[in-house]
Amino acid sequence: MCWLQAGECAADEGADRVSANFGMEDSIEVVLQDCGGILPPSRPHPILSTCTCALLTGLYRLWSLFVIPGFRKVPRNLKVPYLPSSKDQTLNTMKLLEGRTGRLADLGSGDGRLVFAASSAGFQSTGFEINPILVMYARSKACWRGVPSSQATFVKKDFWKTDLSAYNNVTAFLAPGVMAVLGEKLLKELPDNARVIACRFPFPNWPHQLSAGFGLYQTFAYDMSTVRSHLRNVRNTVV
């Protein structure tokens, strides 16, 4: 009986509320208030709630300290959090760079694992990373391993604001939402002989030359000259 009454009551109230342009939270509140008489009162213990709140805030602060510092100036739609590439992703990336030499930029170098792999393969590698803690960590790892800065450098810099025209190899393990914007930047800046490796998330509308691995571990290789001539053809066909 109680349930029926509460339901009817909530429905009537709900109709009034909708007409008054109230949101979902208001409707839920009304239902909860109406159920107040039939449901046992649950009052959280004030000390317990305060402790839980403080713990969650502390955990969030700790998480944000490692994952998102330095991001304040990056536009919201271009923010990419830290997620290290797996061993397979690193191996697949390096497979697609076989036979190549020269300078390599890793966009968002994290703890430096791709930069170290590339420098071991003979590339003069630079990691651009916005998170100062990760830059410090990668630099100390380079020091510890005795990797000279001529082979592996870590720069604390926003790669969106970095001119990449001096690099003939670029690696990017970022996020699907930023790949189209990154594609436009690379088209403007990279030389024709450059190769770009996208780890896990391909560039939309770019034809890849090669790929390695499957699923989450798949990496894609793009040669700038091929991408440019493909896009020119597509634009000519459309016009």
Ligand X SMILES: C[S@@+](CC[C@H](N)C(=O)[O-])C[C@H]1O[C@@H](n2cnc3c(N)ncnc32)[C@H](O)[C@@H]1O
Which positions lie near ligand X, rule CB under 6 A? 74, 80, 82-85, 106, 108-110, 113-114, 128-131, 134, 158-160, 173-174
Place of tokens 């009986």: 1
Cβ distance 157 to 184 under 8 Å?
no
**109 vs 168, beta carbon nearer ligand X:** 109
Shortest reach from residue 23's CB to ligand X, in Å: 34
Residue nearest to ligand X (CB): 108
Q: How far is the CB of 38 from ligand X (least distance, A)?
A: 49
Q: Which is nearer to ligand X, 45 or 72 (CB)?
A: 72
CB of 233 to ligand X, least distance (A): 31
Closer CB to ligand X, residue 67 or residue 187?
67
- Contact between 201 and 176 under an 8 Å Cβ cutoff? The reply is yes
153 — phi, psi (to 5°)? -125, 145
Residue closer to ligand X by CB (options 126, 168) is 126
Token look-up 């436009």 returns 184
CA angle 120, 122, 124 (to 5 degrees): 100
Q: What is the DSSP string of 109-143?
A: -TTSHHHHHHHHTT-EEEEEES-HHHHHHHHHHHH
Minimum separation from the CB atom of position 201 to ligand X (A): 9
- Shortest Å, Cβ 149 to ligand X: 19
Nearest residue (CB) to ligand X, 108 versus 183: 108
User: Cα(213)–Cα(207) distance, rounded to whole angstroms?
Assistant: 17
